[in-house]
Amino acid sequence: MFSLKYMFNMFAFLIRTALDCTDEPFFERYSALEPERWEEINKDVKKFFPTLFYNGHIVQMSDSLCSKELLEQLRAVVMGKKEEYDKQLLVLLLTILDSSMSKYIENYVTKEAIKGINSNADQTKVQLLPRVKCSWEHSNRGSCHYNGLINYLNFFYFIDMNKTNGYEIWNQFLSDDTFSTARKRKALKIGMCPLTNQGNLNWTKETRNGIGYFSITDIEDKEIIEENMLKLNVELKKHQVDIAIMPEMLGNHQIEENFKEIFSEFPDDGCENCPLIVFPSIWSNHHNIVTVFNEQGDIVIQQEKQHPFLYTISKDERYLEDIQPEKKISLIHCDGVGRIAILICKDALMIEYIQMVLNILKVTLLIIPSFSTGNYDFQEIVQCCRSADCCVCWINTCSVANLNGANNKKLEPIGFFLRCGKKSELPDGIFRCNRKEQSCCNGEERDCGRCVFTFDLPFG
């Protein structure tokens, strides 16, 4: 594996070179290469890199193959002039390396989040990563909307750090058997929980440089929230939910600690816990952070809210959420799901941010925990996810009625699910979570404690 590290670095270096010398029109032309030209560049690649082929087929990279000479030769490809032909040859070479190194990234799993599998990301500004499959992504992978290098790689994926708007991107890879139940039933079950209608938030205000800010100091009725989460945990297991999602801001450190303990022990009922739970975010010390736990109660990722909410009481009384986030985005990669990102409430409404997440990070499942008086803006913005084959789960909480006096009509629906990609039948792709249909906050269970809206996605 010693020399493979250099191959990954060389691969990232070649990707950077290709990114710098090509543009969308180049890839438009490349997609229409004539067979004669195709033959010609193929022949040249085989002539320059005979060791990468055997009987005309691409060979798997190996320690013996990965020599200093090969690295020198690869470097030489990009040192010359950048005529159209050279660029075509470079792109073809990248697709060959992609396939040649594929077996080294099969079933790739990380213990801790990484930036890339290459160690020269800071120099090349390319984060090289394994590309996990997404069951609902179209096989042409958006090539009718976008022409670029990433369309020509099958096994690797990369992040162009020059295009992430200054955000650091961290990547966590889950093992293939994370969603084994979903694989058997060929459907990934998403469960969304409004959690409670009792979550009152206490807040303080502060003025700095003439700007009004608000901070969340505490949540009332923590006992009800914890009680509901325990009830919901039973429901999630009963429905065999694969990914559970809870709303923004109703989290609490003590509740998380208690759940970590519950999850770390063998379940009382013998049923396995939900493989991935997006806990309600915790507002604390100028940070609004969501934690995602796995079934054993280990942290998978944490994601901070990046854009402050403007709390408008009246025309003259407005306060900005007093968050000071670190500019980091954490992605979860898992075979079958593709790439998951969490955009907390307002983050999903910021057009530049969501477009970067879709177009540069190529996220395929977007999770939006909210604490919001309306759903209209969210339903509008997520339409841009459709061409990216990115499914969306948005969940709000019934507690908003308590705090902001938002009427119940505004909280209908309390969540929605946008189904994209293959076999998405609904005209606008949106399945709404209607509280009335589910008797959320109505029946005997007066505070959403057993209310889970579930949706299935094709899987495996």
**Residue 229 half-sphere exposure toward CB, CA atoms < 13 A:** 27
- Shortest Cβ 196–Zn ion spacing (Å): 7
Based on CB atoms, which residue is closest to Zn ion, 78 or 345?
345
- Shortest Cβ 224–Zn ion spacing (Å): 12
Based on CB atoms, which residue is closest to Zn ion, 250 or 440?
440
- When asked if residue 440 is in the footprint of Zn ion (CB under 5 A), the reply is yes
Cα pseudo-dihedral 228, 233, 237, 238, rounded to 10 = -10
Based on CB atoms, which residue is closest to Zn ion, 348 or 398?
398
Among positions 191-220, residues that touch Zn ion (CB under 5 A) are: 194, 197
Exactly one of 18, 93, 398, 452 binds Zn ion (CB under 5 A); that residue is: 398
* Beta carbons of 388 and 358 less than 8 angstroms apart: yes
Q: Which one of 24-32, 50-58, 301-309, 447-455 is the stretch in contact with Zn ion (CB under 5 A)?
A: 447-455
Q: Which one of 88-96, 183-191, 316-324, 433-441 is the stretch in contact with Zn ion (CB under 5 A)?
A: 433-441
Based on CB atoms, which residue is closest to Zn ion, 244 or 440?
440
- Shortest Cβ 435–Zn ion spacing (Å): 6
Based on CB atoms, which residue is closest to Zn ion, 194 or 415?
194
- Shortest Cβ 451–Zn ion spacing (Å): 6
- Shortest Cβ 197–Zn ion spacing (Å): 5
Based on CB atoms, which residue is closest to Zn ion, 3 or 438?
438
Based on CB atoms, which residue is closest to Zn ion, 441 or 452?
441
- Shortest Cβ 448–Zn ion spacing (Å): 3
Positive or negative, the CA dihedral 419, 422, 426, 428 is positive
**Residue 422 half-sphere exposure toward CB, CA atoms < 13 A:** 12
- Shortest Cβ 228–Zn ion spacing (Å): 10
Cα 373 to chain centroid, rounded: 25
Give dist(CA 101, CA 116) in Å, integer. Answer: 15
Q: Which one of 129-137, 258-266, 271-279, 390-398 is the stretch in contact with Zn ion (CB under 5 A)?
A: 390-398
Give dist(CA 332, CA 342) in Å, integer. Answer: 9
Based on CB atoms, which residue is closest to Zn ion, 336 or 449?
449
- Shortest Cβ 258–Zn ion spacing (Å): 22
Exactly one of 149, 300, 348, 441 binds Zn ion (CB under 5 A); that residue is: 441
**HEC profile for 4-66?**
HHHHHHHHHHHHHHHHHHCCHHHHHHHCCCCHHHHHHHHHHHHHHCHHHEECCEECCCCCCCC
Based on CB atoms, which residue is closest to Zn ion, 147 or 397?
397
* Beta carbons of 426 and 420 less than 8 angstroms apart: no
* Beta carbons of 453 and 440 less than 8 angstroms apart: no
- When asked if residue 448 is in the footprint of Zn ion (CB under 5 A), the reply is yes
Based on CB atoms, which residue is closest to Zn ion, 162 or 407?
407
Q: Residue 449 phi/psi, 5° resolution? A: -65, -20
Cα 460 to chain centroid, rounded: 18
Q: Which one of 20-28, 229-237, 260-268, 397-405 is the stretch in contact with Zn ion (CB under 5 A)?
A: 397-405
Helices 68-79 and 2-21: crossing angle in degrees, nearest 10, is: 10
- Shortest Cβ 447–Zn ion spacing (Å): 7
- When asked if residue 224 is in the footprint of Zn ion (CB under 5 A), the reply is no
- Shortest Cβ 156–Zn ion spacing (Å): 44
Coil, strand or helix: which one is 446?
A: coil
Q: How many residues bind Zn ion (CB under 5 A)?
A: 6
Q: How many of the other CB atoms lie within 10 Å of CB of 443?
A: 10
Give dist(CA 350, CA 336) in Å, integer. Answer: 28
Q: Where do contacts with Zn ion occur on this chain (CB under 5 A)?
A: 194, 197, 398, 440-441, 448
